[in-house]
Amino acid sequence: LMELFLNKKIDKVELIYHHYKSKGTQELLRETFLPITLMTEDERWKIPQPDYIVEPDPQTIMDQLIPKVLKLKLYTIHADSVSSEHAARTIAMQTATDNADDLLDELTLQYNKLRQQSITNELLDIIGGSFGKPG
């Protein structure tokens, strides 16, 4: 991506990803990856600029630092998206488990009612049969 951007084959790179906020909340974010927006001139003048001696020169530092920052940003976004996906899967599986438990409880109740009805019918047949015999 950086090479394509530097060679002017692409003008802009935007990232769209899910940001993990909490177990039940993920937020869809859209960020500009390239070009990097550091500081505007107005913001730069608001910050006091001490006179530091920088070795190597600031341009060399930026040339080495920016690719590392971009790689770190991609890694962070990937980790964030994976965390969001796992959280969503966990919630989906928990919901499926809860639904299966509810269905099992409902089926158990229905089975017990049918079994009780069957026993009641057998008892009525036995009692009805004993009244029908002379004794």
Q: What is the pLDDT of residues 20-33, one digit of tens each?
A: 888 888 899 998 88
Q: Provide the β-strand partners of residue 10.
A: none
One DSSP character per residue, 58-123 reads HHHHHHHHHHHHHHHHHHHHHHHHHHHHHHHHHHHHHHHHHHHHHHHHHHHHHHHHHHHHHHHHHH
Which range of 29-38, 64-73, 81-90 scores highest in mean pLDDT? It is 81-90
| Per-chain mean pLDDT for the chain | 86
Phi then psi for residue 27, to 5 deg, are: -120, 135
Give the pLDDT score at 135.
Answer: 52
Label residue 8 by pLDDT band (50, 70, 90): confident
**Closest CA relative to residue 56, chosen from 66, 68, 64:** 64
Is the model's pLDDT at 104 over the cut of 80?
yes
Give the pLDDT score at 123.
Answer: 93
State the average pLDDT over residues 6-26: 86
Pick the range with the lowest mean pLDDT from 11-15, 44-48, 112-116: 44-48
| 62-76 confidence digits (pLDDT tens) | 788 888 988 999 999
